[in-house]
Amino acid sequence: MINALAAAKAYAATQKSAGIDPAMGGGATAGVGGGFGDMLKAVMTDAVSASKHAETQMAAQVAGKTELVDVVTAISAAEASLETVMAVRDQVISAYQEIMRMPI
For residue range 9-29, list pLDDT tens digits in order. 776 776 776 666 555 554 444
CB neighbour class for 81 (10 Å; exposed up to 12, middle 13-18, buried from 19) = buried
Please choose, from the candidates 17, 37, 19, the residue with its C-alpha nearest in 3D space to the C-alpha of residue 27. Answer: 19
Residue 98: inside a domain: yes
67-77, pLDDT tens digit by residue? Answer: 999 999 999 99
Residue 5: inside a domain: no
Residue 72: inside a domain: yes
Residue 8: inside a domain: no
User: Distance between terminal CA atoms of the chain?
Assistant: 38
| Phi–psi pair at 20, nearest 5 degrees | -95, 130
Residue 101: inside a domain: yes
Measured CA to CA, the distance from residue 74 to residue 84 in angstroms comes to 15
Residue 75: inside a domain: yes
Where in the sequence is the domain holding 72, given as residue range(s)? 33-104
Q: What pLDDT is attached to residue 4?
A: 65
Residue 49: inside a domain: yes
Total domain count, the chain: 1
39-69, pLDDT tens digit by residue? Answer: 888 888 999 999 999 999 999 999 999 999 9
